[in-house]
Structure 1
């Protein structure tokens, strides 16, 4: 007869009762806790040391948090299954798969979350880099615009300086003429003859011509050759007869010392009732120095 086992509760069984699992020894649990504390302390110390740097953020340590958490988790799981490794060898494949999925599921989820935060940081850094590039490009454009404005102003100053130099050079080359007319005689044809004096108060002039508008005088052009500075030439002017008088322009054309053709203009008017003609130089806009008369170039 099979020996019966009588448990403490008073129920008889044919098999010996299964004793409840006594759990892990206290030493093993203590070692696991100690290892976890050491890893956690190392992680905290590493983060605290780098937190003093400027622009520090906790998200910079996602990799460290993931690695330390994974190591602690592996150690804990290893300790938990170490005494039951033999049962893994006789497990059906579906149960073994469930076991592996349950073991690595938390780790996979942890790295998924950490990867999400890491990707967000990378996108944030990329956005900041693009914004910095845009700001740098904007500053570069503004700097180039400033340089362009400065260059334009410098060119304008140089042009003004060159213009002043040209005007100063012209001043040293220009002649300055005055024309005076006085009554001389009455010709046999009863034409009034005036004695005109052309005086050069400027620089030397060469190949000097005096021209009157058509229908003003008898003989519209007078040639004098060279007229030196402070020299003068005299010539006779006969105005055409007209009851209303004549009015027009008189031109003095000449070449300066550099061979440039210059011209000065005079406004001229004569009426039979006048004792002598009225003639006045036409001045251009005053330049530097003030009241400087610019000679006009004659057409070829």
Structure 2
């Protein structure tokens, strides 16, 4: 469009020059006899239309350039917005990937914890009775993963059974015998087992142990 305006300006300027020459060409010699003010008025009147023409053409050219600049800015803004949207999508994908990896890591950690967790089972193994003297036997068997550095503490009537054991492998067991005199009614204890698993993480298990007097002879049982 700018080239069209330039060609238009040149054509109109040439046409105006030809017209001006036709109009005053035979009176050019009279300029030498005119005063300076008159010559100035003549030149202003002769070239004023050309100056106005190029001023108008420049105004249109500036408008075209402004519109082109505006379109370029809008295009850049659109491209920038598109880039921002793409970055948001990339961030979302990265965040989802990181979350998935964290969930996978947490699940793997949870599986590992379950894999190295012991499964401690309490069982009563009978006892001996002589009048009011009783000796009740029970065991703790490990059906899960091996553990080490066991510390067993009884809180209540069986504190004499406190002990420490270096390790308890899978399938291993610990035997106890609790001795008391009388019916055994009301005798109870809370047994806490502290240990280290295969990854040397601390663990704990608890059993509430009571003397069951509901049968003819007392026996040991676990109450949940």
Regarding TM over 0.5, the answer is yes
Counterpart-to-counterpart distance in 2, 1:68 and 1:233: 114
Cα 1:83–1:162, aligned 2, differ >3 Å: closer, same or farther?
same
Note the alpha carbon deviations across 1:244-297, whole angstroms, 9 max, x for none: 66475x33322233433332344x25366445454367xxxxxxxxxxxxxxxx
* C-alpha spacing 1:280/1:117, structure 2 compared with 1 (3 Å): farther
Q: How does 1:192-231 map to 2 (within 5 A)?
A: 193-212=135-154, 214-215=155-156, 217-219=158-160, 221-231=162-172
Residues 280, 127 of structure 1: alpha-carbon distance in 2 compared, 3 angstrom cutoff:
farther
Question: What residue in structure 2 maps to residue 125 of structure 1?
Answer: 68
Residue in structure 1 matched with residue 111 of structure 2 by the alignment: 168
Listed as ranges, the matches of 1:136-175 within 5 Å are 136-175=79-118
Tell me if 1:177 matches 2:177: no
Aligned length: 220
Q: CA deviation at 1:166?
A: 2.2
SS of corresponding position for 2:160: coil
Q: TM-score, normalised by structure 2?
A: 0.80
2:173 to 232, 241, 266: 232
Kept in 1, the 8 Å contact 2:2–2:61? The answer is: yes
Residue number in structure 1 paired with 2:77? 134
Q: Check whether the contact 2:137–2:178 (CA below 8 A) recurs between aligned residues.
A: yes
Q: Which has the larger radius of gyration?
A: 1
Say whether the 8 Å CA contact 1:193–1:236 is kept in structure 2: yes
1:66 alignment partner in structure 2: 9
| Structure 2: distance between partners of 1:70 and 1:187 | 137
Report if the CA contact (8 A) 2:119-2:142 is conserved. yes
What is the CA-CA distance between 1:155 and the residue it aligns to?
Answer: 0.9
How far has the Cα of 1:221 moved from its partner? 2.8
What's the offset of the Cα at 1:178?
Answer: 0.8
Corresponding residue number in structure 2 for 1:98: 41
* Greater fraction strand: 2
**Cα distance between partner residues in 2 of 1:73 and 1:216:** 125
- State yes or no: 1:87 paired with 2:30: yes
Cα deviation per residue 1:147-182 (whole Å; 9 max; x = unaligned)?
111111111111122123223333443322111135
Structure 2, gaps ≥5 residues long: none
**Structure 1 unmatched runs, 5+:** 1-57, 282-300
TM-score (norm 1): 0.62
Q: CA RMSD in A?
A: 3.1
Q: SS at 1:94's partner residue?
A: helix
Distance 1:67 1:242 in 2: 124
CA contact (8 A) 1:218 1:237 kept: no
